[in-house]
Chain A
Amino acid sequence: MATRAISDTPAKWGDMGSINEPIRRPLTLDVSSLPSVAFGHRNTTWLANVFYMAIEGMMFALMFATYFYLRTRSTDWPPGHLPPALTYGVTNALIFVFSLAPAWWVRRRAPEGDRRAVRNGLLVLALFALVATAFRVFEFTTLNCRWSDDAYSSTVWVLIGMHSGHLVTELIETLVLFAISLTPKMEGTRLADAAINSDYWYFVVITGLIVDVLIYGTTRFL
Chain B
Amino acid sequence: MRLRLQLGLLFAIASVLVSCQREDRILRQPPPANDILNTIQISGLNPGATSIPTPPSSNMYQESAYAVSEGQKLFEQYNCVGCHAHGGGGIGPPLMDRDWIYGSEPGNIFATIMQGRPNGMPSFRNRIPEYQGWELAAYVRSLAGLLPKGVSPNRPDQMNVKPSESSTSEQKPTGITGVPEQHK
Interface of A with B (CB < 8 Å)? 73, 148
Contact = CB atoms under 8 A, between A and B. Distances in A.
Contact of A73 (B155, B156, B157, B172): B172
Interface of B: 155-157, 172
A73 B173 CA distance: 11
Contacts of B156: 148
B172 A148 contact: no
A79 to B, nearest CB: 12
Nearest to B155: A148
A49 to B, nearest CB: 36
Contacts of B155: 148
Nearest to B157: A148
Say whether chain A's binding surface is mostly helix, strand, loop, or mixed.
Answer: loop
Nearest to A73: B172
Nearest to A149: B160
Q: Which of B155, B156, B172 has the most CB of A within 10 A?
A: B172
Contacts of A73: 172
A11 to B, nearest CB: 56
Nearest to B156: A148
Contacts of A148: 155-157
Contacts of B157: 148
A73 B172 CA distance: 8
4 contacts: A73-B172, A148-B155, A148-B156, A148-B157
A148 B172 CA distance: 23
B170 to A, nearest CB: 9
A140 B93 CA distance: 34
A148 B154 CA distance: 12
Nearest to B171: A73
B156 to A, nearest CB: 7
Q: Which 4 pairs, one residue from A and one from B, show the smallest C-beta to C-beta distance? A: A148-B157, A148-B156, A73-B172, A148-B155
Contacts of B172: 73
A73 B155 CA distance: 22
B174 to A, nearest CB: 10
B155 to A, nearest CB: 8
A73 B157 CA distance: 21
A117 B28 CA distance: 73
B153 to A, nearest CB: 13
A69 to B, nearest CB: 13
Nearest to B170: A75
A141 to B, nearest CB: 19
